[in-house]
Structure 1
Amino acid sequence: MLDSIEQIKSPRLRGAAAAGLAFTVVTFISGIVISAVNPKAKVNEVAAPSYLIGMACGAVFGLAYGKKRSDDSTQDRNKTQANNGKAKQDWRNFVVDRKVQESEEITSLYLKSEDKGNIPQFEAGQYITIKLDAPEQKQPVIRTYSISDYPNPCDYYRISIKRELAPKNTDAPTGLASNFMHDHIQTGAVIAIKPPIGQFILDKEKSLPVVLVSNGIGVTPFMSMVKACSRLNSKRTICFVHGARNGQ
């Protein structure tokens, strides 16, 4: 009987069913006990106390059982969410499959999973987090880069990185991560990556025209959006405005 009650998803209905079961059982048992203790008792003298005892025990059992199952369900749900969240946040090694120099300042890295397993599909506009073991750095260097392509099906991530030079007439250093990847990361290098995340995404299914405006290296998430639209919603009108210092 309890197995059937456990199948009820609603905590309130489950508690009510448990209360009804407890009321029936306790009323029956208490009636037998009262009759055994006082064989000469009249029916109403047995029924009334049995009813009250059964009702009280049923209410207590129903509340306790319903709450317990609700707490168990909540714990199971929280545990599942925690495990899913942990899986999404875990670092995973990727190999640089290709390194392409797009211009004097920008280089693209094509990254594939080292374990050859499937990689999470992403929404156009999202970014990945990478971890670099740069020389003379006590701690790993953590950076985020927008995914600049939209392969479908997804079997690689591409990031396009601008070499960040030191601003003129300042003591500011050059970009640590960008210069390290331009100069030292080559094909075959292994980079730890977290799965794609980010809320700056484009709804690919809508038919409304979309206007994209970018400048400089800020173009990278929009490249992913444009490719996603062209492959999945080719009839959608796109107006893309981009600012650059030169044709490269």
Structure 2
Amino acid sequence: MVVDNKAVVSYINVLKEDLAIFRIKPNEGQVPDFKPGQFVTLGVNVPSEGKVIRRAYSIASPPQQKKYFELIIRWVKKPVPGRLTTQIFDKKEREDVFWVKPTGIFTINEKLPSGDPDNRRLVLIGGGTGLAPFVSYSLHLKAVGSKREIIVLHGASYVDELSYRDLLAGLEEESLDKGKDVWNFRYRASISRPQEWFNRSWSGHTGRVETFLRPKPGMDKSPLEELVGETISPENTS
């Protein structure tokens, strides 16, 4: 049986018309324990349908954040408006929603099949809102003092869809300041429509996010391998 818990929308950051960051604050108690990479089910009462509509969203905040869940949500507008996302984007701060406790198996491997600690670098590749679990991974690993090398690769069509660009760039800057022996983190983004007027300020990597994994014409190594300085293999990368 699904148990709907009450919450309020405590914060909304609209990045563009159909993309926003929401914080969902439980009405009672703290955010329960969960693992980075898991999702929370969000619900909204829709009077016209006479029921609560629910959808699952990956959690972007780390487990250490006990005041709220942070979610990055895209408003589904085509081919027809999304039943839940349309309701969510109509919400104002301090309005009510429901949530169901986090679950999911898209979590960090901490041990190898042999039982030994998994100290391989983490390469986290996401497009659009698919970045959310990797933000949670990164903030969690930083909070627990992990020494693993972490590389986040994010792809989007437009610059304003790089939802956590400032946060992740800040994590990389902290890595450079403190040294990789303390915090080893790098972030790279790619824009797939560089010719669009809205992307006129972009001077970084272009193409879909998977182009980080393919060597450019005339090159032996992919952009990712150039970044890490070695060939990527299952032995050194998770």
- Which residue identity is paired with 1:197? T
Shift of residue 90, structure 1, vs aligned partner: 2.6
Any unmatched runs of 5+ in structure 1?
A: 1-85, 167-171
Q: What percentage of residue pairs aligned between the two structures are identical?
A: 23
How far apart, CA to CA, are the structure 2 residues paired with 1:190 and 1:175? 19
Give 1:95-244 correspondences, 5 Å limit.
Answer: 95-115=8-28, 117-150=29-62, 152-166=64-78, 172-182=79-89, 184-203=90-109, 206-244=118-156
Shift of residue 161, structure 1, vs aligned partner: 0.7
- Which residue identity is paired with 2:82? G
How far apart, CA to CA, are the structure 2 residues paired with 1:161 and 1:220? 9
- Kept in 1: contact 2:122–2:149 (CA 8 A): yes
How far apart, CA to CA, are the structure 2 residues paired with 1:91 and 1:105? 26
Give 1:49-128 correspondences, 5 Å limit.
Answer: 90-115=3-28, 117-128=29-40
SS in 1 for 2:16: coil
How far apart, CA to CA, are the structure 1 residues paired with 2:97 and 2:109? 30
- Which residue identity is paired with 1:90? V
Structure showing the higher strand proportion among its residues = 2
Specify whether residues 206 and 90 from structure 1 end up closer, same or farther in structure 2 by C-alpha distance, changes over 3 A only: farther
Segment of structure 1 superposing worse, 145-154 or 192-201: 145-154
How far apart, CA to CA, are the structure 2 residues paired with 1:131 and 1:162? 15
- Kept in 1: contact 2:33–2:63 (CA 8 A): no
How far apart, CA to CA, are the structure 1 residues paired with 2:34 and 2:141? 14
TM-score (norm 1): 0.57
Q: Which residue of 1 aligns with 2:191?
A: none
Shift of residue 206, structure 1, vs aligned partner: 4.2
Q: Deviations over 1:151-195 (max 9, x none)?
A: 5242211111101121xxxxx31212112211x211111111111
SS in 1 for 2:131: helix
How far apart, CA to CA, are the structure 2 residues paired with 1:147 and 1:126? 6
Specify whether residues 192 and 137 from structure 1 end up closer, same or farther in structure 2 by C-alpha distance, changes over 3 A only: same
Matched residue count: 154
**Superposition CA RMSD, Å:** 2.0
Specify whether residues 233 and 142 from structure 1 end up closer, same or farther in structure 2 by C-alpha distance, changes over 3 A only: same
Which protein has the larger Cα radius of gyration, Structure 1 or Structure 2?
A: 1
SS in 2 for 1:218: helix
- Kept in 1: contact 2:60–2:71 (CA 8 A): yes
- Kept in 1: contact 2:59–2:69 (CA 8 A): yes
How far apart, CA to CA, are the structure 2 residues paired with 1:243 and 1:147? 18
